[in-house]
Structure 1
Amino acid sequence: SQPLQMLSMEAQAIGVGKLDEVEERRFPIREVDSLFRAKEEMKKGLRSFEKFVPRELVRELLASGREAELGGERAYLTVAFADIVNFTSISELMPPEEVVKMLSRFHGILYQSISETHGTIDKYIGDAVMSFWGAPVENPDHAFGACLAALHAQARLAEERKRIKDSSAPPIHCRIGINTGDLVVGNMGIPDRLSYTVIGDSVNLASRLEGLNRYYGTDIIVSENTYRAVSDRLIARKLDRVYVKGKTQGVFVYQLIGEKGKVEEKTLRDLQRYEEALEKYLDRSWEDSIRILEELQKGHPNDKSILLLLSRCCKFMEEAPDEDWDGSYRLG
């Protein structure tokens, strides 16, 4: 009876989503041995299934005893998009096998950073990765988790670039956009083919923010909602107020810098000076803004955001914007 008790206990464990490593055991009674091997095959199948859909979702379904159903619910979550800088240009010069290796390196680093902060990888879109925090397992600190994942991913990519410096492998640089807001999360698609994902305007904004990095020369941009949720623990620079595609009003965007206590004092002073220049710009005090920006430019000649704001101030000195101008800049 002991082998049967063991099988019963392990079946119950599988039923609540506990899928330990497959065990190699043999039993003298053929029927018991057959049951044990069938159980291990089922466990293998479920472990493989976890590689295609969020692990937490699989375990939640197993524990609840429910079948996955079409449908979603409103939730306040954080979404991130990340992709490789100049991926198309780089991949055109590489054999397909090397492209796959490069993507595997990139996706592996992102997976590690996302999973350790309790995020969910939604999908891989070519070189891009879409992920979110706060579902299927509820996490009130989802914005911080997303930002920490982004910082960790960039740090790991920097370490990898050092490691492969003398090899033929191409260095990987990445851009990330993060937004926090209302969206719909759940099983989308058709009853026979579901995808656990998030949809909504907040998702679109995260994607737009990722693209803005190209314009400002930055590597992580977050929305105002995200920044407000993490401002007590993380440092960010208020970059600009912009119109993004799909939005009728301007939104403030922030460059994520690092964790509080881990950013150098000089960097903090320069960030503060840039934000002072931005405030002068928004107040139409072009000359004051130019003076601060020119000082900053001496120490940061390659900071694209400084050059962009300086260029706009000079332009408005010659031709002021309309009276109803609210400081928002329309890109493109």
Structure 2
Amino acid sequence: MSIFKLRTSNVSLRFSILSVFFTLLIIAMLSLIALMHYRFVKNMTSISFDFMQEASFAAFQQITEEMATAESRSASTARLIQLSVIDPDNLEEMVAYTTDLILSESIISPSIQSVYWADENGTFVMAERTANNTISSEIINRSKLPASSEYIYRNTNGQIIKTIRSFDLNYDPRMRPWYLTGKILKKTAWMPAYRYQRSGFLGTSVLTPVFYPSGKLHGIVNLNIRLDYLRRQVEGINISPHGIAFIVDSDGKIIAFPKVIQDRNSTLLNISSLPYPWVIQTFNYYKKHLSQKFLLNYAGKNYLAIYKPLLHFGSHEWFIGTVAPQDDFTTELRKTHMITIVFALIMLMLSIAIVSALISNTVNPLKTITNEIKKIKNFELEDRPPVQSHISEVVEIAQAIHSMKQGLRAFQKYVPATLVRQLIQVGEAAQVGGEKKSLVILFSDIQDFSMIAEQMLPDQLMQHICDYFEELSRIIVANQGTIDKYIGDAIMAFWGAPLVASQPAQHAANAALQCVNRLRALNAEWQKMGKPILHTRFGLNMGDAIVGNLGSKERLNYTAIGDTTNMASRLEGANKLYGTQIIVSESMYKIIKEDYILRMLDYVMLKGKSEAIFIYELIAEKHDPIPYDIATYNSYFAKAFMAYQHHYWDRATKYFTFCSQIYPADRVAPVFIKRCHYLQVNPPAADWNGIWRLNEK
């Protein structure tokens, strides 16, 4: 079918470009906004919990440490009595010790309100912090008759100001819950909340029994913590504007809750009696699921809740709870999120406007070119100036059309215009021979193979070279390459045909590096076996080549031919000059430079070429270790080569010498040092810019 007789439902180029761009831009922007929103919603709860935990961590830590301190002091006091460091029968010593303990804990653990010691005889020693922040003590002595009690008052300086002695004893510590519990458990333990007989306040106790060496109970040390102290502590926790911190037991009884004063209540209030239904719901959820951190929706509002165990006694536990509306932590985040979305939408609209203007500037010259082509189709070849545009490709098209019109006008002198128009109208798309494709070509060759062949028996040589081909071919095929042919000891392979390969340059580079590494191991093995080593050089080039089935009716060969192939062969041969193993062309370098370690070798004109190119050595993959500082080497080499191009031979020699010092085994820098010495004696032309002609294949 003639390519000029196709009829389809067409749209304008401007509309097509705008449609595609706008569609992609809108999809990309909306996808980004959707992703941002998804990530925001997904992470919002986590971020809120982080803020909440950060706000409550210090207070949680303080309460936990105070409870731990009280437990530690109870156990350590009992231990001192057990070891006879403190004599509990010396009541004055016990009074001094308990008083000092309360004073020392006033800063460290202010929740400890009093310290008790009671023994099996009913003797009792107590020190407590009073409401006016003084320390009072009491001694009940039942070891001497008549039994008596002595209450000691002190001022704020700790000096005794009054002592009251009484023989009317109505308090027996041995009958109190804390003493009975310690007697039963026989270890350090916490008491559930209960009312103190002496003060009437609600509180808890941590007790530790003391035993004689015989195992008989001596007495019990008891430290008291009042619930109103705990209440004041949770009131001081500032989680958020509407957040609440509290302490509750496993039955839902309130231990400490902001502004809930229950010192004179007959029993502890239950959390279900509070006017905070959202707090009640979180506690019920926690009891059911035992999740220490969760999000709960109540009445259409999300609440964050954190519960942490505080104390454990028997089947009962205390928990520190914090509950706060999620909005307390996310209001500013939501504002920022909305601002980001609005900004993204504004940028979308701005991008659409800018692109629309740019596309108009691009399409208008193309419309003019289209009209010119239509005129050429009808063989209307009037001379007009080329279309002007700021886009180089459009300018190239316009100039090509202008040149074509000039050629057709010349052709018009030899061929009737009518015939030319008919040929153009019925022109057929045809392709003869191979297919032109962008390929990566690899050539390999064994150094001094002729000498090796002379030293080996034919059978041994064939087996050795076949083993060599097998190893290298396997690596090339594994990296998606196509083996073209074996030419004596050389291998020719290419990437990009017959199958289209993704990243053909990278696959070819990997294959060459893996071949070098594999040959290093094989040569070591062959040397041990007495076989000659096969030092191999590689050349890699990328460009357009003709690929297809070529040959005769008798025999076809799927191969690649063209200048790209010849250049790869020349690059392989250039290794001999520089003492390298893998040389790649400039076109290859531009593709693989971000993924591999390379160094520039030279600016050369290969045999049979009229244009010079930069050539590079492929050294290793990006993160592979190499035995010298390649970055410093390349920096000095670049300075040296620039001086070399500008005929500054001494400066170039100096920098090339630095390169040799960085990499003593280098064979490239010495080549240039030798060149500099030669060119210094035999200067090149003034316009010489560093091109070195390689006349060997």
Give the TM bin, normalised by the shorter chain.
Answer: 0.7 to 0.9
Corresponding residue of 1:145: 507
Structure 2 unaligned spans of 5+:
1-431
How far apart, in 1, do the equivalents of 2:532 and 2:502 lie? 38
Structure 2 counterpart of 1:282, from 631, 641, 645: 645
Could you tell me the TM-score, scaled by structure 2's length?
Answer: 0.37
Q: Percent of counterpart pairs with the same letter?
A: 38
Q: Deviations over 1:226-274 (max 9, x none)?
A: 1111111011111001111110121111111111011346233223322
Task: Look up the equivalent residue of 1:161 and give its one-letter code.
Answer: N
Partner of residue 229, structure 2: none
* Matched residues, number: 263
Asked if 1:73 is matched to 2:435, the reply is: yes
- Superposed displacement of residue 305, structure 1: 1.6
Asked if the contact 1:239/1:275 (under 8 Å) is kept, the reply is: no
Deviations along 1:75-101, one digit per CA (max 9) or x if unpaired, are 111001101111110110100011011
Structure 1 Cα separation of the partners of residues 513 and 681 of structure 2: 40
C-alpha contact (below 8 Å) 2:646/2:689 kept by paired residues? no
Larger of the two Rg values belongs to structure:
2
Separation in 2, partners of 1:172, 1:112: 17
Is 2:579 aligned against 1:217?
yes
Answer yes or no: is 1:239 the counterpart of 2:589.
no
- 1:293 corresponds, among 632, 648, 656, to 656
Q: How much does 1:192 deviate?
A: 3.3
CA distance in 2, matches of 1:287, 1:137: 51
- Using the TM superposition, give the Cα deviation of residue 293 of structure 1 relative to its aligned residue in structure 2, in angstroms: 1.3
Kindly tell me: are residues 181 and 305 of structure 1, through their superposed partners in 2, closer, same or farther at Cα, counting changes over 3 Å?
same
* Amino acid in structure 2 at the alignment position of 1:312: R
Q: Is residue 271 of structure 1 aligned with residue 634 of structure 2?
A: yes
2:71 maps to which residue? none
Q: Which residue is equivalent to 2:518?
A: 156
Q: Distance in 2 between matches of 1:314 and 1:157?
A: 36
Once the two structures are TM-superposed, the CA of residue 223 in structure 1 deviates from its matched residue by: 0.3
Query: In the TM superposition, what whole-angstrom CA distance separates every residue of 1:97-149 from its partner, at most 9, and x where no partner exists?
Result: 11011111210121111011100000011111100001101014111111110
1:90-239 aligned within 5 A: 90-239=452-601
Q: How far, CA to CA, are the matches of 1:299 and 1:272 in structure 2?
A: 11
Q: Which residue of 1 aligns with 2:684?
A: 321
How far 1:71 sits from its partner (Å)?
Answer: 3.1
CA distance in 1, matches of 2:500, 2:546: 14
Q: Deviations over 1:289-314 (max 9, x none)?
A: 11111222235444322111111222
**Which consecutive aligned stretches of 4+ in structure 1 deviate over 6 angstroms post-superposition?**
none
2 CA distance for matches of 1:298 and 1:267? Answer: 12
SS of the residue aligned with 2:660? helix
Q: Is the 8 A contact 2:541 2:565 kept in 1?
A: yes
Cα offsets for 1:17-42 (capped at 9, x unmatched): xxxxxxxxxxxxxxxxxxxxxxxxxx
Quick one: distance in 1 between partners of 2:506 and 2:662?
30
Cα deviation per residue 1:307-326 (whole Å; 9 max; x = unaligned)?
11111222333343212212
Point out where structure 1 has 5 or more consecutive residues left out of the alignment: 1-69
Kindly provide the amino acid, as one letter, of the partner of residue 148 in structure 1: N
Provide the alpha-carbon RMSD of the alignment: 1.7
Work out the CA distance in 2 between the residues paired with 1:108 and 1:126: 14
Q: Is the contact between residue 633 and residue 662 of structure 2 (CA under 8 Å) also seen in structure 1?
A: no
Aligned residue type for 1:143: A
Question: Tell me, what secondary structure is at the counterpart of 1:115?
Answer: helix
Preserved CA contact (<8 Å) 2:606 2:694 = yes
TM-score (norm 1): 0.75
| Structure-2 separation of matches of 1:106 and 1:271 | 33
Specify the code of the residue in structure 2 equivalent to 1:322.
Answer: A
**1:239–1:255 Cα contact (<8 Å) kept:** yes
Higher RCO (CA 8 Å, separation ≥ 6 residues): 1
